Amino acid sequence: MERTGQFKLRRKKIHLIISIIISIIWVLNGLICKVLNLVPRHEQIVKGILGEDNSRTITLLIGISEIIMAIWVMSRYKSRLNAIAQIIVVSLMNTLEFILVPDLLLWGKFNSFFALIFIGVVYYNEFVLNNNNLVKETKK
């Protein structure tokens, strides 16, 4: 019984660490790359996909949305819905970029590989590590 409790505690710690890392990734991409515009390539990607009109405003809104995503991750509110939203957003965003503006991506079409890893980590963190049904403690 104690081993089960230790395993569950270790799994929760790993889940928290990965959640923090996922949140940091969202904040860095939202705040640094888009809101503060320290990586102008992100706005160029928006221009390439949506056109010149309002590309700065749209980039700013995307950045704010990414910061909100980080807050949502750390809040743990409806965490499964959050994980599904992250997976859909990252999949859609990377598919559009892969098709429409691969030349603007940091690693070109290879960016999809990193997106797939991120999606896998989000999935594993929520649906494996955070699955409370994996370990059922029996009470005597």
Residue 50, Cβ density class (10 Å: 0-12 exposed, 13-18 middle, ≥19 buried)? middle
Segment 24-79, tens digit of pLDDT: 999 999 999 999 999 999 999 999 999 989 999 999 999 999 999 999 999 999 99
pLDDT at 5: 78
On average, the pLDDT of the chain sits at 91
∠ CA 106-122-137, rounded to 5°:
160
Structure pTM? Answer: 0.86
Both structure tokens of 30: 């939202």
pLDDT band at 1 (very low <50, low <70, confident <90, very high): low
Amino acid at 128: V
Domain boundaries, given as residue ranges, for the chain: 2-129
C-beta of residue 97 within 8 angstroms of C-beta of residue 45? yes
Residue 16, Cβ density class (10 Å: 0-12 exposed, 13-18 middle, ≥19 buried)? middle
pLDDT at 132: 63
